[in-house]
């Protein structure tokens, strides 16, 4: 159990950052260094479907007198909607959670190969190009295909790749296996973690889940929403704030940093209040924050 003493960490807090253990471009150490340089004092590493970056990030955070919260961004899907569920302070050895994350990661590889095969009909791109952009630790995704397209000179950066060749409308898109959001919330909560829906109101493909379904997730243990995120729409944020107040939920703000070269998002561009960080810590029972 956590002691829940809120005075043991200090803000500003950014609870959503990625390293090269998923689809960020930097090592956990470099992510922590950048977060610190951007003024962050408490951070969570939230690689997609993977926890292998925790130890390195925790050590780098301790060295700088920062507090580290272990986290993960769990891939889920509801019909055609991709839904990302942030899990904080869960037990990484929980068998059910670890098995499901492994299943998602394994399927992501075959899916990436299918996307590349499809792109290769029209462009000079091979699977080996993607492997060259992927470390052994990575959770393979479209960002690595984007890096291969950049290396081939077919696009200038990840943004151009996502707006063009990798966009679902371009016809090369394939989904990967992902459990439904209810399963994701149950797995995180069952492992003693705190489940927060990441960027729940982005434009277009990831449109907000229906309120009755969100209320079902809340009843199953969903703790809150990531509201301050650059991709959430203003009307969406207003609606979520209303829902969060009605159900006394946790609300967070974060950068979704993917490396200086990975995405324009910068550490600390959105932050989570001390009160909300304290609520996350108090609610969790699966693992402890690493204090300086």
Q: How far is the CB of 264 from ligand AMP (least distance, A)?
A: 8
Quick one: 178 or 218, whose CB is closer to ligand AMP?
Answer: 178
Tokens at residue 213, please?
């379904």
| Residues touching Fe ion, count (CB under 5 A) | 3
DSSP 241: H
- The partner residues of 225 in beta bridges, in order of sequence, read 197, 251
Residue 206 interacts with Zn ion (CB under 5 A): yes or no: no
Query: What are the beta bridge partners of residue 14?
Result: 43
Q: Which of residues 55-94 bind Fe ion (CB under 5 A)?
A: 84
What angle (nearest 5°) sits at the alpha carbon of residue 33, between those of residues 29 and 38?
150
Q: Please select the residue that binds Zn ion; options are 73, 129, 147, 206, rule is CB under 5 A.
A: 73
**Which residue in the shown chain puts its C-beta closest to ligand AMP?**
141
Phi, psi for 225 (deg, rounded to 5): -130, 145
Min separation Cβ 141 and ligand AMP, Å: 3
Binding region for ligand AMP (CB under 6 A):
23, 48, 141-143, 158-159, 162, 258, 263
278 binds Fe ion, rule: CB under 5 A: no
Q: Does 256 bind Zn ion (CB under 5 A)?
A: yes
* Crossing angle between the packed helical segments 142-151 and 95-120, to the nearest 10 degrees: 40
Q: CA torsion sign, 142 to 148 to 154 to 160?
A: positive
Question: Which of the listed partners (Zn ion, Fe ion, ligand AMP, none) does 187 bind, with a CB threshold of 5 to 8 Å by partner kind?
Answer: none
Q: Please tell me whether the peptide bond between 6 and the residue prior to it is cis, using omega within 30 degrees of 0.
A: no
Task: Return residues touching Fe ion (CB under 5 A).
Answer: 23, 84, 198
């Amino acid at each position: 159990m956590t002691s829940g003493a809120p005075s043991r960490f200090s803000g500003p807090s950014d609870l959503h950052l990625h390293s090269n253990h998923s689809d960020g471009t930097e090592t956990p150490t470099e992510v922590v260094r950048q977060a610190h340089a951007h003024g962050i004092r408490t951070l969570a590493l939230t690689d997609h479907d993977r926890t292998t970056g925790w130890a390195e990030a925790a050590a780098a955070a301790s060295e700088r007198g920062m507090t580290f919260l272990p986290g993960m961004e769990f891939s889920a899907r509801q019909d055609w909607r991709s839904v990302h569920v942030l899990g904080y302070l869960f037990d990484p050895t929980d068998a059910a959670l670890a098995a499901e994350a492994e299943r998602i990661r394994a399927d992501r590889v075959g899916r990436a190969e299918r996307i590349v095969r499809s792109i290769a009909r029209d462009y000079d791109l091979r699977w080996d190009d993607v492997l060259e952009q992927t470390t052994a630790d990575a959770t393979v995704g479209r960002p690595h295909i984007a890096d291969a397209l950049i290396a081939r000179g077919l696009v200038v950066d990840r943004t151009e790749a996502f707006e063009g060749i990798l966009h679902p409308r371009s016809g090369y898109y394939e989904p990967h296996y992902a459990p439904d959001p209810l399963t994701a919330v149950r797995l995180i909560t069952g492992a003693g973690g705190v489940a927060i829906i990441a960027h729940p109101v982005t434009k277009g493909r990831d449109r907000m889940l229906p309120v009755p379904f969100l209320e079902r997730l809340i009843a199953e243990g969903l703790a809150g929403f990531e509201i301050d995120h650059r991709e959430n729409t203003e009307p969406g944020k207003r609606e979520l704030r209303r829902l969060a107040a009605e159900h006394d939920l946790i609300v967070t703000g974060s950068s979704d940093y993917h490396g200086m070269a990975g995405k324009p998002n910068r550490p600390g561009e959105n932050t989570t209040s001390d009160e909300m960080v304290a609520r996350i810590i108090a609610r969790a029972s699966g693992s402890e924050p690493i204090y300086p």
